[in-house]
Amino acid sequence: MSPFLLSLCVGLVFYLIISSIALYKVKSLKDQDYEISYKDALNPVKWFSVFLGSILSVLYVDHLFEQLVYRFYNPYCRENCLIGNEGQCVGCGCNTEAKMLVPFETCSKGYWGKFIWRRSEYVAYRKKFPIEIQIIKKWQK
């Protein structure tokens, strides 16, 4: 058998197995009155989306995500520490938005520190220093 035919057969078998599992899952969700399409169960792009979402849900735990959001949307830092809309820090001139994505970096002005990795430590920190994060979308017509 040629390598092309072999890879085609393996791909087809893989597709049939995964789509069967997905169809079973869609049926069980439909039985619970969820609105989901059988077409989604046959779509490899949806499979990848579910797989990637499952991986990211492990990586982006809520207390880490909250710290990232706080860095980006801290109003005091946005108003007083960044030069214009370029995202440069007034203290050190760095690309602050890039720096905010790095968990072990800190603000040169001291407005945010390294990520607190342990949930229990972060909960204790939040009790000591409570914050409220509010995101408001202003709808435009």
pLDDT in tens, 59-79: 778 898 899 888 888 777 777
Q: Is the pLDDT of residue 116 over 90?
A: yes
d(CA 97, CA 68): 11
38 HSE (CA, 13 A, CB side): 5
pLDDT given for residue 84 in this prediction: 64
Q: Is the pLDDT of residue 92 over 80?
A: no
Place of tokens 């049926």: 27
Indicate the pLDDT class of residue 114, thresholds 50, 70 and 90.
very high
Indicate the pLDDT class of residue 16, thresholds 50, 70 and 90.
very high
